[in-house]
Amino acid sequence: MEQWDIYTENREKTGRLHTRGEKMAVGDYHLVVTALIFNSKGELLIQKRREDKIGWPGFWDFSAAGSALAGESSRQAMIREIKEELGIDVTTAESQLRFTWYFPDGFDDFWIIYHDVALEELTLQKEEVQEARWVNEEEFQSLVKAGEMIPYFFNETLFSWIHKGHLHE
């Protein structure tokens, strides 16, 4: 049984827990993390959600995402989700919290991670991920235009966030 910390609208922990799958009470919020992994070529690692997954089945999504478990910080949850879904270990030195998006039941912290890994080295979580690939900006925008990518509000500007200094050029 997966449990999450419950937060106030100001992102303060209440000391109460929520069980995944139950409806969130009005005024209760939980923490979600989303990881966007870029390699030294400036490509983004994306994953294709399984066809039987609830919420955006069969769509391409960012590198990894999920809810923070009770007691986890945002950074700990991000590192765990990447390990669970892709089988990769990332370090905190490679990661940067980019922004937080507030949604009706919580907060989604979007992390940028700079990490090189070969696709053959990935261990995909079979229950959630059916495929992964690296895409450059053109390929990413092609998936967005084709309606194959989850329609995040910042898809069109995503690649402008990448600082050349982080790409080891």
Q: Is residue 165 part of a domain?
A: no
Output the six-digit token pair for 92.
Answer: 């905190």
CATH number at residue 49: 3.90.79.10
* Residues constituting the chain: 169
- 166 within a domain of the structure (yes/no): no
Supply the pLDDT for residue 116: 96
pTM of this structure: 0.93
Domain membership flag for residue 167: no
Residue 155 belongs to some domain of the structure: yes
Distance CA 115, CA 117 (A): 6
Q: Name the nearest CA neighbour of 161 among 142, 140, 147.
A: 140
Domain range for 71 is 3-160
Mean pLDDT confidence for 92-113: 93
Q: In percent, how much of the chain has pLDDT > 70?
A: 96
Is 74 contained in some domain?
yes
Q: Backbone phi, then psi, for 52, in 5-degree steps?
A: -100, 10
Q: Is the per-residue pLDDT at 35 higher than 60?
A: yes
Rg of the chain, C-alpha, whole Å? 16
* Residue 121 CB coordination number (10 Å): 10
Domain assignment present for residue 54? The answer is yes
Whole-number pLDDT of residue 161: 78
Residue 156 in domain: yes
How many C-beta atoms lie closer than 10 Å to residue 13's C-beta? 12
How many domains is the chain partitioned into structurally? 1
Q: For the residues 80-85, what does the mean pLDDT come to?
A: 98
Residue 169 maps to a domain? no
Task: Tell me which of 16-30, 123-137, 155-169 is least confident.
Answer: 155-169
